[in-house]
Amino acid sequence: MPDKLKRTFLNVALAVLLLGLAGCIEYREELWLNADNSGNLVFEIGLPPHTSIEEDEIGELSIVSFCDSVPGMTVTGSGTFTEGDITWIQVRAEFEDVLLLNQVQNQWFGRIYMENNEENNRVFRRIITMSDTINVNNGTFGKMLKYAALGQYSWIYTLHLPDDIHDSNAPLMRTDTLTNSITWEYNLASLINDQKVLTCTYRHRTGFRDYLNNLFKR
């Protein structure tokens, strides 16, 4: 097959793939973090009409099962509702440690890291990506198709911190130092074959749980 014809075939195949993904998903999440790394979250998964996703992959029961199967994580409520023509699955959960989200099947919450810096402030870092599940051409034509088909779908992450924010890589307008909350927003196209790193640093004051942990380490 000539190279030109081969490229044309691949571009057509890519177009078909992306049009098939046009019924993809949206995501909204709000997470409240306590000083001891415990907390709770609410996340919502939006499924536009004609989404070709199996119920056992993304459905209310399967998502609840994924979360409830992690020791130290408890689903406190769930439901399904519609907004316009989009069906939303909402799940509310509590966790004893935010790092438990790393154990949820399919790495739905990405990868979360927590550490203290030299000033003993807490550093939150989270990596999200879709590169493990969707593979598309990164050429100019591929990128155009990707954004045309998937650029309309938003993935929004809001994080409420237990103490003063020192810095974050979120837009300044999405960082509220009065309520200690930060919002990151991406479109689905920007997550494919790429990763986004959500980072922030906030004041960390040792609580009673930290005191006990340090006491038993001696």
Strand locations in 96-164, DSSP E?
111-116, 122-129, 154-160
> By CB neighbour count within 10 A (0-12 exposed, 13-18 middle, 19+ buried), where does 109 fall?
buried
User: pLDDT digit string (tens) for 111-170?
Assistant: 999 999 999 999 999 998 765 444 444 454 344 444 444 546 788 999 999 999 999 999
Give residue limits of the domains in the chain: 22-217
pTM of the predicted structure, to 2 decimals: 0.76
User: pLDDT digit string (tens) for 42-82?
Assistant: 999 888 776 555 554 568 888 899 999 999 999 999 999 99
Q: Could you tell me how far CA 150 lies from the centroid of its own chain?
A: 16
